[in-house]
Structure 1
Amino acid sequence: MPADFNRVAHDWLDNEAGPVVRPYAMTQGRVVPEGGELDLVAFVVATTGGPAGRTASLQPEHHAIVAAAWEPISIVELAAGLDLSIGVVRVLLGDLRSAGLISLYEPPAASQPHDVDVLKAVVNGLRAL
Structure 2
Amino acid sequence: MTAAGDGPWLDDAAGRLVRPFTVSNGRTKPSIALDLMSQVMATGVTPLGYLGPEHAQALDLCRAPVSVAEAAAHLKLPAVVTKVLLSDLVDCGALTTKPPVFHHTPTDRSLLEAVLDGLRRQL
Q: Which has the higher contact order (CA 8 A, sep 6+)?
A: 1
Q: Residue 81 of structure 2: which of 76, 81, 88 is its match?
A: 88
So what's the TM-score if we normalise by structure 2? Answer: 0.74
1:103 aligned partner: 96
Q: 1:124 aligns to what?
A: none
Q: Corresponding residue for 1:44?
A: 40
Q: Which runs of 5+ in 1 are unaligned?
A: 1-6, 120-129
Does residue 20 of structure 1 match 2:13? no
**Counterparts of 1:40 and 1:86, CA distance in 2:** 8
Number of aligned residues: 104
Which secondary structure state, in structure 1, belongs to the residue aligned with residue 59 of structure 2? helix
Larger Rg: 1
Question: Could you report, residue by residue, the CA deviation over 1:18-68 in whole angstroms, capped at 9, with x for unpaired residues?
Answer: 011111211111000013x21100101001115x5x2x3111110011101
Gaps of 5+ in 2: 110-123
| Amino acid of the structure 2 residue aligned with 1:39 | D
Amino acid at match of 1:29: G
Distance in 1 (CA, whole Å) between partners of 2:98 and 2:39 is 5
TM-score by length of 1: 0.71
Which whole-Å CA distance do the structure 2 matches of 1:9 and 1:21 have between them?
Answer: 12
For residues 72-129 of structure 1, what are the alpha-carbon distances to aligned partners after superposition, in whole Å with 9 as ceiling and x for unaligned?
A: 01010111111111111000011001000000110255xxxx8xxx99xxxxxxxxxx
Identity %: 35
SS of aligned partner of 1:11 = helix
Residue type at the aligned position of 2:27? R
- 1:30 counterpart letter in structure 2: R
Query: In the alignment, which residue of structure 2 is the partner of 1:125?
Result: none
